[in-house]
Amino acid sequence: MPIFSLFLSLLACDKSQSNNTDENESYMPYCAETETALERDEMSPIGVSMDMVLDQLAMNYSKNLVWADGEESCLSGAVSPDESTIRFVESTEVYPEAPPDAMVPAIAVDCPDYIAMDGLVSIMTHDGLLDEELQVTFTVSEEDVLDTADMVNAKYSIDIDAFNGTYAPSADDEISSITISGEVGGVFSGSISMVTTNESDSGIVMANIVDIASWSEAADPECPGFE
């Protein structure tokens, strides 16, 4: 399984350094969010309504899933939105004032406003490797609207502890997280990745993003259940 990119490296630290890090985290910049309920067809302050996503949304999809090693599976997907949870989220950058002795990195946060809706995404492969039902939050951000020409799609991303299907990721290093993310609306696309970590002899902890699988607009008509 190929490693696509080096994600981060962290220096191992002793207990006293760890305590200082915990204290400094309270001064890290963050996004403060305020939610306002919306109706399905209600125009949000970012210039779109969730109706623009739902009008394009099919409830069931059939796609061709490609594993990182080049093998393929037939994927059936389903989307179940909860329209009662549609909301506008105003997001504001907050930079807490830290004391002079606090070691806080000088980083910026990006906090675009967005509309959101909760729901379920199901992805299942016909070979049984995947059989996942995900409780997700679909979002359309202000930045997504600016990047969209003709259609508005909603994105989601969720971390899981393990797979319900028979797929078992192989990794020489410790698996710290598994992420499933995707886009729905006029499309049904997505990917699965994981982060693995290992510690070198010198005490440096390295983390790597490893691609597992992806699916896009392409469908294989030979797959069972494909129309």
| Secondary structure (DSSP) of 6-43 | EEEEEE---HHHHHHHHHHHTTS-EEEEEEEE--TTPP
Structural domain includes residue 101: no
Structural domain includes residue 99: no
Nearest partner of 81 among 37, 51, 42, judged by Cα: 51
Structural domain includes residue 126: yes
Structural domain includes residue 49: yes
Structural domain includes residue 105: no
Predicted pLDDT of residue 15: 37
Predicted pLDDT of residue 225: 53
Structural domain includes residue 174: yes
Predicted pLDDT of residue 26: 75
Measured distance CA(123)–CA(126) in Å, rounded: 10
DSSP 8-state class, residue 55: T
Predicted pLDDT of residue 170: 79
Nearest partner of 155 among 182, 132, 175, judged by Cα: 182
Predicted pLDDT of residue 7: 33
Structural domain includes residue 176: yes
Predicted pLDDT of residue 187: 86
pTM: 0.79
Count of domains in the chain?
Answer: 1
Structural domain includes residue 57: yes
Neighbours of 79 (CB within 10 A): 22
Predicted pLDDT of residue 56: 87
Residues in the chain: 227
Tens digit of pLDDT at every position of the chain (227 positions): 333 333 333 333 343 444 444 555 577 888 999 999 999 999 999 988 999 889 988 888 889 999 999 998 999 999 999 999 999 999 999 988 878 777 767 788 899 999 999 999 999 998 999 999 999 999 998 887 766 555 678 999 999 999 999 998 877 778 889 999 999 988 899 999 999 888 777 778 788 899 999 998 666 666 755 44
- CB-based burial of residue 196 (10 Å sphere; 0-12 exposed, 13-18 middle, 19+ buried)? buried
Predicted pLDDT of residue 218: 64
Predicted pLDDT of residue 17: 44
Domain that holds residue 193: 5-19+33-90+111-215
